[in-house]
Amino acid sequence: MVGQKNLKADKDDLILVFGKGCLHAISGIDGEVLWRKDFASESIEVSHIIQSPEVIYVAGFVGSSKFYVYEVNAKSGELLKNNHVALPFATSGESLSVSGDKFVVLDDVRSKIVTIDINNGNINYNQKQVSDLIKDSSGQAVILPSKLPGLFALKINSQVLLIKVTNEGELVALDQIDNTAAFSNALSISEDQHVFAFVQYEDNKIQLSVKDVNDWNGALLKENLVIDHQRGNIEKIFINNYVRTDRSHGFRALMVMEDHSLLLVQQGEIVWSREDGLASVVDVTTSELPVEKEGVSVAKVEQNLFEWLKGHVLKLKGTLMIASAEEKIAIQKLRLRSSEKSKMTRDHNGFRKLLIVLTRAGKVFALHTGDGRIVWSTTLHALRKSEDCEHPVGLNIYQWQVPHHHALDENPSLLVIGRCGPSVTAPTVISFLDAYTGKELNSLSLAHTVARVIPLPYTDSTEQRLHLIIDVNKHAYLYPRTPEAIEILKREFSNIYWYSVETDNGVIRGHALKSNCIHEIVDEYCFVFRDLWSIVFPSESEKIIATVTRKSNEVVHTQAKVMTDHDVMYKYISKNILFVANAAPKASGEIGTATPEEATLVIYIIDTVTGRILHRMTHHGCQGPVHAVFSENWVVYHYFNLRAHRHEMSVIEVYDQSRADNKDIWKFVLGKHNLTSPISSYYRPEISAKSQSYFFTHSVKAIEVTSTAKGITSKQLLIGTIGDQVLALDKRFLDPRRTLNPSQAEKEEGIIPLTDSLPIISQSYITHSLKVEGLRGIVTVPAKLESTSLVFAYGVDLFFTQIAPSRTYDSLTEDFSYALLLLTIVALVAALFVTYVLSERKDLEEKWR
Amino acid sequence: MASFTKSLFLFLFIQFCFSILPSSFAQSPTPGSSDGYTIYGRVKIPSFGTKEFSLPAKVSNVKVILNGGQRVSFLRPDGYFSFHNVPAGTHLIEVVAKGYFFSPVRVDVSARNPGKIQAALTENRRGLSEFVLEPLKEEQYYEIREPFSIMSIVKSPMGLMMGFMLIVVFLMPKLMENMDPEEMKRAQEEMRNQGVPSLASLLPGAARSN
């Protein structure tokens, strides 16, 4: 909708609203729609609405060269007149309104400026060559969208030309500004004074100037300020004014930076800044903190001697209660900084970590899990706008090198993968970062594209992880590009498998490496691959809507599961397992678009090495969106049941039947069991799957499962609900062995009686009364302490907590009373001495007897 | 056509806002329109606010969500909300308000019978005669910490251990006193012969004095 408001509070205060090809006139007094006029049939791209008390002009282009103006009666909405002019050339870009009834637009080759004047419904146009206004007009000209009365700004290369449009429609070049970054809109500070601001780059500084639109020579404000390079270019600027004590006008400017941060500048200083880039997190990984040793800290937290002394003087003041309010705040800060939680070193329990987030602006932040502060932030050079790479997007962030052997003197590093532009055929950029300092170690612009990145389970001697980047032309590229990496890959050549999902065609393919690429230039890091298998889903009845696989770094503690009757079931645990959800094409849209009769949801569990379908299941009358999580041998998914009109969650557990007959003790004695036989992905075991479904009240935005260091602790599902909260639900509620009346033995084992819906216990919201606005994803990371899992939820807000799905069985709870323990010990020691003295005395008495 | 009906809805909505309708359950009687109906409703949150942790219900924090996130609407200060241009069919409306549990609502927008909307809570399958959504229950996000009491300490394993020790230390000698002195002597002698150390000999000082 284009809103157009009459600012000059007229007697009837008409508000014009244009949307979806229809102009509405709304009374400003009572909000009543007075009239409406439909322009949808005219195929006009309405760009301007000019309001006057009697008539309203609606102007816009039809196609790219016909300019139409409609005259509408302001009182009744009646069409009075329409007029049009056909330009002898096509136009490009948006037209800009310069003053009331004048517009400027560029022609399609961007060499001419066209001024269109609609005087009382008559259209006149003038054209002028850009080269008449500026000597060097070799670059592409662009009209900047800043709204300045009587002026417009034309950008050519890095220069900006300010051009005045006279009443006669003549164009006069006013000024030429070099190295301009951004222009603001005009701000009216008094009846006839309009000002605007612009910023220029000057060596390391930037200059902010505020000028009067009519008085070109003098500047109202000229300020120099230094802005951190990491923030990148200035994208936008907005100004507002205040009246100083001497009644002159002062200005403050709000700047939007390339990394999506906001700065408020006043009197040549940055008053405040906000990292709003954190609202658009793209990918998350974690990094361990440095091992504690003398002189190691990530950012220099402390301290020279003076700082140290100052801190102690402050603390002393605090204890003597003579600290002022400001000093108290400083003490608080010091305490927080030196507190256990926010230390910059690795802790024994592994609670302290760095969360490394990649934002959409291409900036990488390291957040401390203790207090959420930004430890470092870097705008990646590779993901900055440049001539080769106009619209870079960050895609993924991976751990590149995690030193264990040299943890003391080597820093871990990260790999960031990005792409120049939104399409998959855009070239790839990769960048390597130091995880402790945020320094960009290296960045490469690659010739190939990126369709998928596969971190391989192998590392080289420097503990760099091997990664395969698959491009759209069916080539796989190995990183790091070292001979050693090639050696490792050659050794594991036949053990590398992956799959690809073609959602549009409904095909899933399995792949393996074949040989080196055949190019004119020999590249031994480039490989071609072959298709091993493919599964083609019938396109008339099924459409892929979701695929989920297991996390590659998940740890499983035990393969066996003991049943109530002392029977053993063997979990089917394979890393190469894929969950696929297909919906009927008619019901692949949103809820409310399909009837239960035409909706089906088909679930597959597929082995990605052999392409074998391990399990298939159909839910009739159900549809997506499907959210799923795969862990160990089970998958939990959330979908919508149209018949009951409720959301449902289902669980499928997969068991290996071929190991089930190992229960016979004689087989063990005689050595006829197959427990020692190697497990191979080529092997086709007998599978049995158990499944159960339950109702779930809420819509879901994301599902994750807790992960712990050894995988012993029972699991909890973390469900990001539509209300932007994160609910922790015990996996025990999603157990196919639940029955209506569990036996005593089953109850003792912890099997919950079957209910038709999953309980939502409000205390188990791990976000408590907080909300993670715009929740998009949940990430779980194991702590070193087995009972604890770290949870990071991101959206517009960021949320971090640590949870213990089976309570903290391996450590004392936070509310454990150490005082009581001490008191008991003291009491015991005292009792010991008292009783000792008493018994001594008694002994003596006895001896005297 | 779509825009025309949309504009009509806007008009109707404004009219609706400024006129007092007896029922909040209104439906646009759009003549001849094939796509797009308007769902009006009202969210009512009883402001008890008497309980300890319940936050004051802020109307601006309440969201009404259609079809799992397809569209989001907010409440007017008096609790009314509306969705425009909703196609005929069966839809799902969820209300998100911190501190309250709302049941999702199944909304049937009839195509054959324009002007007819049926609503039912999906949690308990209760039909709504009036489209007024009320929370099923309040949500307590925090567990209430148990107040400190002597009994809880005594009942804790450590308390029980201490109690037992006190009994042993102070009551056992009393029991011993009631025994026959000669019998006691004999028992003590026996003990010494067997080499079972007494409490006194356990302590280093006592051992030396012996």
Tell if the CB–CB gap between A699 and B65 is shorter than 8 Å.
Answer: yes
Q: How much is the pLDDT for A278?
A: 92
Q: Which residues contact A230 (CB under 8 A, 6 or more apart)?
A: A259, A363, A377, A378, A379
Query: What pLDDT was estimated at residue A569?
Result: 84
Residue A424 class from Cβ within 10 Å (0-12 exposed, 13-18 middle, 19+ buried)? Answer: exposed
Q: Give CA separation, A1 vs A25, A667, B7, B70, B85, in Å.
A: 13, 77, 12, 19, 16
d(CA A133, CA A154) in angstroms, rounded, equals 10
Question: How would residue B35 be classed by pLDDT, with cut points 50, 70 and 90?
Answer: low
More confident residue, A120 or A510: A510
- Quick check: A640 contacting B, CB < 8 Å? yes
Please, which residues 32-91 of chain A have a Cβ atom closer than 8 Å to chain B?
32-33, 36, 38, 40
Q: For the segment B183-202, what is each residue's pLDDT rounded down to a tens digit?
A: 878 877 887 777 655 555 55
Computed over every residue of chain A, the mean pLDDT equals 84
pLDDT band, very low/low/confident/very high, at B11 (cuts 50, 70, 90): very low
Inter-residue contact A170 to A164 (CB < 8 Å): no
Distance from CA of B53 to the nearest CA of A (A): 10
Q: What is the pLDDT of residues A604-617, one digit of tens each?
A: 999 988 888 999 99
pLDDT of residue A669: 66
E strands within A657-806? 687-696, 700-705, 716-721, 726-730, 777-782, 789-794, 798-803
pLDDT recorded at residue A567: 79
Pairing of strands B132-133, B37-43: parallel
Provide mean pLDDT across the span A726-742.
90
Euclidean distance between CA atoms B174 and B186, whole angstroms: 18
Q: What per-residue confidence (pLDDT) applies to B57?
A: 56
Cis peptide before A145 (omega within 30 of 0): no
Torsion from C-alpha of A483, A486, A490, A492, nearest 10 degrees: 130
Tell me what pLDDT residue A137 has. Answer: 64
The arithmetic mean of pLDDT across residues A445-466, rounded, is 88
Per-residue H/E/C for A625-666: EEEEEEECCEEEEEEEECCCCEEEEEEEEEEEHHHHHHHCHH
Q: Does A823 touch chain B (CB under 8 A)?
A: no
Give the count of alpha carbons within 13 A of A257, CB side only: 23
Of A593, A762, A835, the CB nearest to B89: A593
User: Can you give the pTM of this predicted structure?
Assistant: 0.81
pLDDT at residue B79 in the model: 82
Burial of A635 (0-12, 13-18, 19+ CB in 10 A): buried
Specify the residue for token string 């658009």.
A280
Q: What is the predicted pLDDT for the residue at A533? A: 92
Place of tokens 């019938």: A538
Asked if pLDDT for residue B33 goes beyond 60, the answer is: no
Separation between Cα atoms, residue B199 and residue B208, nearest integer Å: 14
For chain B, how far is it from start to end, CA to CA, in angstroms?
A: 111
Q: Which residues of chain A have a CB within 8 Å of the CB of B70? A: 590-592
Percent of chain A scored above 90 by pLDDT? 23
Of B3, B69, B153, the CB nearest to A40: B3
A645/B contact by beta carbon, under 8 A:
yes
pLDDT digits (tens, 9 = 90+) for A475-525: 899 988 888 999 898 888 888 899 999 988 899 999 998 888 877 777 888
Verify whether the Cβ–Cβ distance B94 to A722 is below 8 Å: yes
Q: Is A597 on the interface with B (CB under 8 A)?
A: no
Other C-beta atoms closer than 10 Å to the C-beta of A750 total: 11
Who has greater pLDDT, B102 or B112? B102
CA A16 – CA A48 distance, rounded (Å): 12
For A670, how many CA atoms within 13 A lie in the half-sphere containing its CB?
Answer: 8
Which amino acid makes up residue A258?
Answer: E
One-character DSSP codes across A777-842: EEEEEE-SSTT-EEEEEESSSEEEEEE-TT--TTS--TT--HHHHHHHHHHHHHHHHHHHHHHHHH
pLDDT at position B182 is 82
What is the pLDDT at residue A364? 92
Q: What is the pLDDT of residue A2?
A: 46
Mutate which: A545, A725, A833, A843, vs B, most B CBs within 10 A = A843
Shortest Cα–Cα distance, B133 to chain A (Å): 16
Chain-chain contact of B68 with A625 (C-beta, under 8 angstroms): yes
**Count of residues making up chain B:** 210
Task: For residue B55, list chain A residues with Cβ-Cβ distance below 8 A.
Answer: 769
Domain B35-138 bears CATH identifier 3.40.50.2300 = no
pLDDT grade for A677, boundaries at 50, 70 and 90:
low
Nearest to A589 by CA among B92, B83, B109, B67: B67
Q: Which residues of A touch B146 (CB under 8 A)?
A: none
Least Cα separation, residue A761 to chain B (angstroms)? 8
As beta bridge partners, residue A630 has A635
Using an 8 Å CB-CB cutoff, list chain A residues near B209.
840
**Mean pLDDT (whole number) for A210-238:** 82
Unique residue bearing structure tokens 């009509």: B8
Q: Assess contact for A82 and A70: CB atoms under 8 A.
A: yes
What is the spatial order of strands in the sheet that A577-583 belongs to? Answer: A543-549, A577-583, A600-607, A613-620
How many whole angstroms separate alpha carbon A112 and alpha carbon A132? 10
Instruction: For chain A, report the end-to-end CA distance as a whole number of angstroms.
Output: 109
Element of type H or E holding B153? helix B150-155
Radius of gyration of chain B (CA): 37
Where do you find CATH 2.60.40.1120 in chain B?
Answer: 35-138
Contacts of B4 in chain A (CB under 8 A): 22, 36, 38
CA-to-CA distance for A640 and A653, rounded, in angstroms? 20
* A31/B14 CB distance under 8 A: yes
Q: Which of A213-217, A684-688, A790-794, B130-134 has the lowest mean pLDDT?
A: A213-217
The answer to whether the beta carbons of residues A559 and A568 sit under 8 Å apart is no
Residue A464 has pLDDT above 80, yes or no: yes
The SS3 assignment for A503 reads coil
Residue of A nearest to B66 (CA): A591
